[in-house]
Amino acid sequence: MKSKVNWLEWCNESFEKAKREDKPVLLDLTAVWCHWCHVMDSTSYSNEECANIINEDFVPIKVYIDKRPDIKERYNMGGFPSTIFLNPDGYIIAGETYVPPERLKLMLETVKSAYKNRKDEIKQRVLETIEKTKNEQTINKAEVNEDVIKEVLLSVEDNFDRFYGGFGTQPKFPHPEVLDLLFMQYQKTQNKKYLDMALKTLDCMHEGIYDNADFGFFRYSVTQDWKVPHYEKMLDTNAGLLKNYAVAYEITKEDKYKKIAGETMGYINKFLSDQKNGGFYGSQDADEEFYLSKPEERKNKKQPYVDHISYVDWNAMIISSYIKAGMVLNDENAVNFAIKTANFILDKCYDNKNGLFHYFDGKQSINGLLSDNIYFLNCLIDIDFVKKGKKYFDKIQEIAAFILKNFYDKKNHGFFDRMLKDDDLGTLRDRDRQFLENSFCAIVFLKLYFLTKDDGYKQAAENTLLCFAGSYLNFGYFAAMYAIAVGMLLNKEIANAPEGKN
């Protein structure tokens, strides 16, 4: 059943309408691959009573999170769909994730009444929230040293599931960057406990969230034992895991890891790539009925929907993984297709004035996001490892300069997640330095330093790590990427370098 809500886009006109009509905004954060987003569209937003209230008393805005990760990061309520109520200036009044029809009716009436009768109180609360979020990280005088790596590894060990592998309880997500850290530490110390944790996790994930018919990995498991997958397949998930299994084979020489890595690339080649022109697609839908069918039944069913948009940051991730896996598995086609895709993105989604654009669906769209620029810079560095040449080296220097000019915080250091624009709305006006992105920036700028011996790159990386030296412990094992960057800074080596050497 189709939604009966008259959805608008996230744009100035929509928020001007909210101001003009003095109505709160209902923001729906959704995704094409998201099962519960489809459920909410076909139930709550197709409910006649709910739709009438929304269309009459709210300004409804629908945002696809893969297209607008900057909006996703600022308004996510902890899962998708996210159902958020905003004032006409774009600041949060209230929000939840999936909301069934009866509960949505109650929420709509409650927010409508509160907005009408307690407008000043809501505005004051919004202003207080804005002020609270403006606390900035500054350089911490603590040093970054081996203790950082030890502390993060302790958190990894404390959260390791010794029965089922992985980290935490449920829902259970893959954490490719944690496995990267474990592999790095094993190769550095030869302490087998780090390798054992990584391999246990890879083996258990393969038994649970791996599609044994079409191959590739599902996004996560609802249960701790990995046995009840959430059936969407994401390009970024498969990019991280492809690299993990390739490294596992590189270290152990066990054929099962080579087989899984090869099958995963086979899935991506078949379903999530444009083999003719270059480029990788974003995701394949979570179709429970299809994936719960027996393999012989699935042959006669229509494949779940594939989002044929190419997202630049995810494309850059998979380019790096294809180069690593291609070198480890001696698959020249994988390396060549990765390079072909990089050339496709340079042609379709890049210019030196605007940097990288976020996605391509026949035309380039939305520039100014750190993730696109830093991940693409990283994949070009990886390409340079295997295909030396002036073309890529010049682009590396050009994009690095663009990032430092437009994203680097020269006052307090670290990297902002987006460029400010004149038409920014709501919390997009507030620049943010995200911990995980900054950890990755440190890794990339250290790789740049190793490549060029330019001390400016090393200084940017080191200052970025110092920004979070007082807060990285708050992130627990999610700080794995930060620990990898610290290890690179201290040991002057690149973990799991694409040419297969460490």
Does the pLDDT of residue 332 top 90, yes or no? yes
- Predicted confidence band at 300 (pLDDT cuts at 50, 70, 90)? confident
Mean pLDDT of 59-82: 96
Element (H, E) at 30: strand 25-30
CB crowding 472-489: b at 16 or more within 10 Å, else e:
beebbbbbbbbbbbbbbb
User: Torsions phi, psi of 377, nearest 5?
Assistant: -55, -45
Output the pLDDT for position 501.
47
> Sign of torsion, CA 274 322 408 428?
positive
Does the pLDDT of residue 13 top 70, yes or no? yes
Query: Rg for the chain (alpha carbons), in Å?
Result: 23
Rounded to an integer, what distance in angstroms lies between the CA atom of residue 463 and that of residue 47?
52
Mean pLDDT of 273-293: 95
Catalogue all structural domains in the chain, each as residue range(s) with its CATH number: 12-133 (3.40.30.10), 146-491 (1.50.10.10)
- Predicted confidence band at 294 (pLDDT cuts at 50, 70, 90)? confident
Cβ–Cβ under 8 Å, residues 230 and 282: no
Q: Which residues pair with 369 in a beta bridge?
A: 418
Cβ–Cβ under 8 Å, residues 335 and 318: no
Output the pLDDT for position 229.
96
What is the tens place of the pLDDT at every residue in 422-433? 989 988 998 899
Rounded to an integer, what distance in angstroms lies between the CA atom of residue 3 and that of residue 38?
10
Element (H, E) at 26: strand 25-30
Cβ–Cβ under 8 Å, residues 94 and 129: no
Output the pLDDT for position 132.
62
Output the pLDDT for position 502.
41
Output the pLDDT for position 21.
96
What is the tens place of the pLDDT at every residue in 461-491? 999 999 999 999 999 999 999 999 999 999 8
Output the pLDDT for position 275.
96
What is the tens place of the pLDDT at every residue in 360-389? 999 999 999 999 999 999 999 999 999 887
Output the pLDDT for position 2.
66
Among candidate residues 374, 424, 434, the one with its CA nearest the CA of residue 404:
374
Does the pLDDT of residue 438 top 50, yes or no? yes
Does the pLDDT of residue 139 top 80, yes or no? no
Among candidate residues 229, 215, 223, 304, the one with its CA nearest the CA of residue 264:
215
What is the tens place of the pLDDT at every residue in 231-248? 999 999 999 999 999 999
